[in-house]
Amino acid sequence: MRPLAIPVEVALADLPRSAGSPLFERLRASVDRVNRRTPLPHEAARWHTHTLGGVERRFAQPITFTPYASVKPCSARCSFCSENLRKADGGTPASRLRPAPDYFDGLSRALQALRGVPLSWSLSGLETSDDADWMLRLLQVLAASESHGPLVEDRVLYTNGAGFAAPQGEVLRRALQTFGLSWLELSRHHHDGATNQTIMRFRPEVAVGDQAVFERTARQLADAVPLRLVCILQRGGVAQPQDVVAYLSWAGQCGAGTVVFREFSRLDDGYRDNATARYLRAERVSMDALLAACLDDREVSRDWTLESLTEGYYFWNLRLRTASGLAVVFESADYGAMHERHATGDVYKLVYFADGRLCAGWEPGHDVLLDTRIEQAQTHA
Ligand code: SF4
């Protein structure tokens, strides 16, 4: 392993310690500086003030906007899917809302209301590509808004790849290029097809569940846009250093430039004890322990170059590079830290739901910033 080379950005004393990870502390102790994506309350230059729905608010910089995809149930049925977690005090979850016929009119109004706000598109929710027509319209509406709406920095799509292996796959790939996608995060949680299927449980008719179809689709995507493969660590999946080695080798063959290994998000006590929460508890693989084991095993990490350490508002990650040039990210997230930030009243996240409401978090009806249905009714009154 080569020495740490961390970009100079901010003094260590300024870092929030929400991650609370002993490994983060160990790595932090090895370096002088790390990246911090979260602004401190007094860092005026990293807050954008904007009036939304008649209320002046502070928007953290950087910030992402998600038009939550929920046209239909997802083509996969991952047991760890966070869209199936339920808050104890929650109402209708985002995954159960279906867009009304005037959905895109409301989205356009929400984007107009965000005129001048610097943000990045983060396209996620359920599976955006499962309805190709909806996805194409979404890309059109977002692209059109860029001339009179928010100031867009990055454009990122999170996908399981299903729509790209379906009949309109090529149309979707070309649309992403026209859209100017910054990169695509493609989920695949094991390098062996059968093992992956036990994890992701694609519905029988979904072609991308097949390993050869997936690998071909990934290479086609990699030819079109920068590709990141995302692997969620779990028992029965990628759990040991040798699994990491095998996954990285396979990911390179699929055309990925980056691989992201993520731990299940850590939950606070605000969630119901449903099947998903129990699965997360039973099948969790600690990212800290796996990364530490990789770093301590010279056979695994001898040729790795550690590049940067980043702390976000509810996650932290280590970025490194292998001898073959593949970028690798180990990442861990904490929903408790996320909820603490959201409760401050400052805006750290923007999500537009199928019910026409723009919220500062992932729960429809909570932290509502703008209700485009009400705005529309007032316009016509
Ligand atoms: S692919 Fe994503 S949205 Fe679909 S079930 Fe898996 S984790 Fe959930």
Best probe residue, ligand 1, of 71, 72, 74 (max atoms within 8 Å of C-beta): 74
Residue 153: partners with Cβ closer than 8 Å, 6 or more residues away? 62, 118, 119, 120
Specify the pLDDT at position 41: 87
Task: Compute the distance between CA of residue 117 and CA of residue 225 in angstroms, rounded to an integer.
Answer: 26
Number of domains, the chain? 1
72 alpha carbon – ligand 1 mean position (Å): 12
Residues 358-370 have pLDDT tens digits of: 999 999 999 999 9
Specify the pLDDT at position 28: 76
Specify the pLDDT at position 292: 94
Long-range own/partner contacts, residues 42-50 (CB < 8 A, 24 or more apart)? 47/346, 48/117, 48/118, 50/114, 50/116, 50/117
Specify the pLDDT at position 30: 64
Residues 330-362 have pLDDT tens digits of: 999 999 889 888 889 999 999 999 999 999 999
Model confidence at 8: pLDDT above 90? no
127 alpha carbon – ligand 1 mean position (Å): 7
The answer to whether residues 36 and 316 touch, using CB atoms and an 8 Å cutoff, is no
29 alpha carbon – ligand 1 mean position (Å): 36
Query: pLDDT confidence of 381, banded at 50, 70, 90?
Result: low
| Atom of ligand 1 minimally distant from the CA of 84 | 8
Specify the pLDDT at position 375: 67
Q: How many residues does the chain have?
A: 381
Q: What percent of the chain has pLDDT over 70?
A: 92
Domain limits for position 203: 4-380
Model confidence at 13: pLDDT above 80? no
Residue 147: partners with Cβ closer than 8 Å, 6 or more residues away? none
Task: Give residue ranges with CB within 6 A of ligand 1.
Answer: 74, 76-78, 81, 83, 126-127, 160, 187, 200
Model confidence at 36: pLDDT above 70? yes
Structure-token match 């019910």, residue found: 355
Residues 159-218 have pLDDT tens digits of: 999 999 999 999 999 999 999 999 999 999 999 999 999 999 999 999 999 999 999 999
pTM to 2 decimal places: 0.93
294 alpha carbon – ligand 1 mean position (Å): 27
Specify the pLDDT at position 22: 79
80 alpha carbon – ligand 1 mean position (Å): 8
Instruction: Round the average pLDDT of the chain to a whole number and report it.
Output: 92
Query: pLDDT confidence of 20, banded at 50, 70, 90?
Result: low
Task: Compute the distance between CA of residue 316 and CA of residue 36 in angstroms, rounded to an integer.
Answer: 9
| Atom of ligand 1 minimally distant from the CA of 95 | 3
| Atom of ligand 1 minimally distant from the CA of 80 | 7
Model confidence at 12: pLDDT above 70? no
Query: pLDDT confidence of 374, banded at 50, 70, 90?
Result: confident
Q: Closest Cα to atom 8, ligand 1: which residue?
A: 81
Residues 118-130 have pLDDT tens digits of: 999 999 999 999 9
Model confidence at 228: pLDDT above 80? yes
| Atom of ligand 1 minimally distant from the CA of 126 | 3
| Atom of ligand 1 minimally distant from the CA of 158 | 2
Query: pLDDT confidence of 16, banded at 50, 70, 90?
Result: very low
Check which CATH number belongs to the domain holding 13 and give it.
3.20.20.70
Task: Considering only residues 191 and 378, tell me which one the structure prediction assigns the higher pLDDT.
Answer: 191
Task: Compute the distance between CA of residue 258 and CA of residue 100 in angstroms, rounded to an integer.
Answer: 37
